Amino acid sequence: MASDYSVRTHRSFVDVAYRLLDAAAILCATLVATRYTDQEHIENLAVVGATTLLVHSIAIEVSGLYRSWRGARLGTELWCVLINWLYTAPAVLGIGLVTRFNAEFSYQTKLVWLALTPVAMACGRILSRGVLKSLRRRGLNSRSFAICGINQLGFQLAENIQASPELGLSLAGFFDDRPASRIDEEIEEKCPRVGTLSKLVDMAKRGEVDMVFITFPMRAEKRIRDYLEKLGDTTASVYIVPDFFVFQMLHARWNQINGLPIVSVFETPISGIDGVLKRGFDLVVASLALVVLAVPMAIVALLIKYSSPGPVFFRQRRYGLVGEEINVWKFRSMRSCDNGAEVKQASKGDDRVTPIGRILRRTSIDELPQLLNVVCGSMSLVGPRPHASAHNEEYRSLIEGYMLRHKVKPGITGLAQVNGARGETETLDKMERRIEFDHRYIREWSLAMDLKILLKTLVVVAKQENAY
The answer to whether position 260 is within a domain reads no
The answer to whether position 265 is within a domain reads no
One-letter amino acid of 309: P
- Kindly report the average pLDDT of the chain as a whole number: 81
Burial of 361 (0-12, 13-18, 19+ CB in 10 A): buried
The answer to whether position 223 is within a domain reads yes
d(CA 350, CA 336): 11
Instruction: Answer yes or no: do 53 and 148 share one domain.
Output: no
The answer to whether position 3 is within a domain reads no
Q: Give 242-251 pLDDT, tens digit per residue.
A: 776 555 566 6
Confidence of residue 37 (pLDDT cuts 50, 70, 90): low
The helix (run of H) or strand (run of E) holding residue 144 is strand 143-148
Mean pLDDT computed over 117-135: 85
Instruction: Answer yes or no: do 179 and 314 share one domain.
Output: no
Instruction: Answer yes or no: do 172 and 94 share one domain.
Output: no
Instruction: Answer yes or no: do 235 and 161 share one domain.
Output: yes
pLDDT over 70 for what percent of the chain? 82
Confidence of residue 66 (pLDDT cuts 50, 70, 90): confident
Instruction: Answer yes or no: do 287 and 409 share one domain.
Output: yes
d(CA 171, CA 191): 11
Give the Å distances, CA to CA, from 160 to 135, 163, 165, 171.
Answer: 19, 5, 10, 12
pLDDT over 90 for what percent of the chain? 15
Q: Give 165-195 pLDDT, tens digit per residue.
A: 777 788 888 998 888 888 888 888 888 888 8
d(CA 7, CA 161): 25
Q: Give 321-376 pLDDT, tens digit per residue.
A: 877 889 999 888 876 655 545 555 555 556 677 888 788 888 888 889 999 999 99
Which residue range is the domain that position 196 belongs to?
143-246
The candidate with the shortest Cα–Cα distance to 328, out of 313, 343, 341, is 313
d(CA 122, CA 118): 6
Instruction: Answer yes or no: do 321 and 447 share one domain.
Output: yes
One-letter amino acid of 439: H
Instruction: Report how many domains make up the chain.
Output: 3
- pTM reported for the whole predicted model: 0.58
Instruction: Answer yes or no: do 395 and 297 share one domain.
Output: yes
User: What pLDDT, on a 0 to 100 scale, did the predictor assign at position 284?
Assistant: 93
Mean pLDDT computed over 13-36: 80
Q: Is the pLDDT of residue 50 over 90?
A: no
Specify whether the CB–CB gap between 80 and 65 falls below 8 A. Answer: yes
Q: How many helices (H) and strands (E) does the chain have?
A: 15, 11
HSE toward the beta carbon, residue 76, CA cutoff 13 A: 10
Mean pLDDT computed over 398-418: 89
Report DSSP state, residue 352: T
Instruction: Answer yes or no: do 148 and 133 share one domain.
Output: no
Q: Is the pLDDT of residue 222 over 50?
A: yes
d(CA 42, CA 49): 11
The answer to whether position 444 is within a domain reads yes
Instruction: Answer yes or no: do 282 and 311 share one domain.
Output: yes
* CATH for 196: 3.40.50.720
Alpha helices, DSSP H, located in 138-238 = 152-162, 185-190, 197-205, 221-231
The answer to whether position 104 is within a domain reads yes
The helix (run of H) or strand (run of E) holding residue 172 is strand 169-175
The answer to whether position 264 is within a domain reads no
Instruction: Answer yes or no: do 182 and 306 share one domain.
Output: no
Confidence of residue 276 (pLDDT cuts 50, 70, 90): confident
Instruction: Answer yes or no: do 323 and 203 share one domain.
Output: no
d(CA 266, CA 251): 6
Given 137, 154, 171, the domain boundary residue is 137
Instruction: Answer yes or no: do 286 and 430 share one domain.
Output: yes
d(CA 65, CA 42): 29
Give the Å distances, CA to CA, from 301 to 298, 311, 315, 333, 353.
Answer: 5, 9, 14, 11, 16
d(CA 142, CA 136): 6
